[in-house]
Amino acid sequence: MMGERRALTPFQPTGPYPQVMLDLPTGTAIPLSAAARGERIVIAGRLLDGSGAPIFDAMIETWQADATGCYAHPHDPRAAGADPGFWGYRRVATDNDGRFLIETIKPGPTSPSDGGNVRPAPHVVVGIYGGGIPYRYVTRMYFGDEPANGTDAILALVPERRRSTLMARRDGNTYQFDIRLQGEGETVFFDV
């Protein structure tokens, strides 16, 4: 199966119009199925630049486990138990106010990494793309009201003063999660 070593294709920005791709009426724009198990939530936030101005030409994508913490992917040892009614991928363009809205279900605690026995706190992986963003940003949204945040191995790698930037605030069934690319309250981004 192995072939000749190949050099990576470099990243380039989406530019300001990722919506053109998202507008193609088939494919990944799958609405949250009525059959999905778990608590229905909305992730709502704004994407802001270093001056606090909204970023209106970006795309936010999310990847997460189902309500019991299973990923529908062969790498997850619990994949066989993944909810067939739920697909953990979402992507949306930001609007004129930099807002994004993602309807999903609240993920459960995922499997620990090999060699670990502490289950990670529930979280959503977030990718950010757009005009003026040459290489994607990766962050995580955690749920501010989860006691497991205190023992999460990834959160422990984040300087304590900055952890609050990863915490979504609950308001009814909505979790508010603003993303600041630069400056005061700058969101923590990960090198993966």
Partner 1 sequence: MSVTSDSSIYPRPAAGVHPPNTTADYRSSRLRHPKEPLVVIPHTPSELTGPAYPYGHLAALDADLTKQHAGEPIGQRITLQGRVLDEDGRPVPQTLVEIWQANAAGRYTHAKDNNRAPLDPNFSGAGRTLTDAEGRWRFVTIMPGAYPWPNHYNAWRPRHVHFSLFGQNFLTRLITQMYFPGDPLHALDPVMNSVPDPRGRERLICAFDIDRTEPDWALGFTWDIVLRGRHATPMETR
- DSSP letter for 79, please: G
- Over the window 59 to 98, marking each residue x when it contacts partner 1 by CB under 8 A and - when it does not, the resulting string is ----x-x-----xxxxxxx---------xxx---------
| Residues of this chain, 123-142, that bind partner 1 according to CB under 8 A | 123, 125, 127, 129-137, 140
Nearest by Cα to 178 from 149, 150, 141, 131 = 141
CB of 144 to partner 1, least distance (A): 18
Nearer of residues 17 and 101 to partner 1, judged by Cβ: 17
CB of 26 to partner 1, least distance (A): 5
CB of 117 to partner 1, least distance (A): 13
Q: Write the CA distances from 43 to 55, 70, 144, integer angstroms.
A: 17, 20, 13
Q: Does 8 bind partner 1 (CB under 8 A)?
A: yes
**Token digits for 143?**
């749920």
Nearer of residues 25 and 171 to partner 1, judged by Cβ: 25
Write down how long the chain is. 192
Q: Does 119 bind partner 1 (CB under 8 A)?
A: no
Cβ neighbourhood burial of 98 (10 Å; 0-12, 13-18, 19+)? buried
* Contact criterion met (CB below 8 Å) for 180 and 186: yes
Nearer of residues 129 and 175 to partner 1, judged by Cβ: 129
- Cα separation, 26 vs 114, in Å, equals 37
Q: Does 38 bind partner 1 (CB under 8 A)?
A: no
CB of 185 to partner 1, least distance (A): 11
